[in-house]
Chain A
Amino acid sequence: MDTRSSAASPRSGHVLHRFANPGQFLRLSGRVLPWLYWPGILLTAGALIWGVFFAPSDWQQGDTVRIMYVHVPFAWLASAGYFSLAVCSFISLVWRHPLADLAAVELGPVGAAFTAVCLATGSLWGKPTWGAWWVWDARLTSVFVLLLLYLGHIALVRAFDDPTRGYRAGAILALVGVINLPIIKFSVDWWNTLHQPASIGLTGAPTIAPSMLWPLLFSAIGFTLLFAAIVVTRTRAAVMERRIRGLLMAKASSASEQEALS
């Protein structure tokens, strides 16, 4: 269907095309989706019931700490979603892979929605805890910039008559925007922010009580599975819609050829 040639090494391009061609993707994703949706729903439901009804309240924050069980997974997924968008954009620019273009287009709105939820739930936590819905704190501002990057990507990929030009422009924006991810991560260390530093890191032990940590981790895994399920479902729909457009165009051109002959 797509005749664009591979721009990077032929071997890596061949492997990528073999495992991610649209037909293969439709077959594979159809099998994977139930394993994303059902565990995602069950884990999220279980973790949130645990977090709301069984986890202890915080000595300082009281019950508002329960907002953490939804706010933190959405914050992680806002950044992880953008990183995935950048990976798709890199594959699109280097190997010119059509599936990477479609996945990037479908990732944008989901990532933007998750970032907006992160900001909204953070605001709902900030009002009773800080006394303000919003402060121009380095962490909050850098996440707001992330939302603008997502919205810019959504607008840019749809701004051209030729979709390929839109995909290229969106991919460049996504790759430039990656610089914002370490800024989000380290903003609480580099600047004196109102937002608290990370309680969970890859190098040190978590500074959060285990009775709060476990529901948070299960909630994060559950929401991650749901995020992946939504993106895969949207990408499946986009692949099929693309095939429908191709078939309709082929039918229209063969009809006009027959008309010209007769």
Chain B
Amino acid sequence: MTHLPFIVAAYVIALGTPIILATDAVFRARRAQRRLDAIDPRRNRGEA
């Protein structure tokens, strides 16, 4: 395969960026969900 370092670098950047963004978003949403469950009175009564 010609120009392999260029191809590998492009795929690492293109796959790494969405993986980092998605991981960050999922952990942020889980953190917010846990905090909300702890302080939201409606959720504690099982209404939400």
* Chain B, interface SS category: helix
Q: Do the beta carbons of A67 and B10 come within 8 Å of each other?
A: yes
> Nearest chain A CB to B26's CB is how many angstroms away?
6
Q: Do the beta carbons of B2 and A62 come within 8 Å of each other?
A: yes
- A to B contact number (C-beta, < 8 Å): 96
Kindly identify which residue among B3, B21, B26, B36 contacts A128, using a CB–CB cutoff of 8 Å.
B3
Tell me which residues across on chain A come within 8 A of B15, comparing CB atoms: 48, 70
How many of A's residues come within 8 Å of B, CB to CB? 41
* Chain A, interface SS category: helix
1/0 contact string of B26-48 vs chain A (CB within 8 Å): 10110111011001100000001
Q: Do the beta carbons of B32 and A247 come within 8 Å of each other?
A: no
Tell me which residues across on chain A come within 8 A of B1, comparing CB atoms: 57, 63
Q: Do the beta carbons of B6 and A244 come within 8 Å of each other?
A: no
In chain B, positions 5-32 with a C-beta closer than 8 Å to chain A are: 6-7, 9-11, 13-15, 17-18, 21-22, 25-26, 28-29, 31-32
A156 lies within 8 A of chain B by Cβ = no
A241 lies within 8 A of chain B by Cβ = yes
Q: Do the beta carbons of A244 and B13 come within 8 Å of each other?
A: no
Q: Do the beta carbons of B40 and A234 come within 8 Å of each other?
A: no
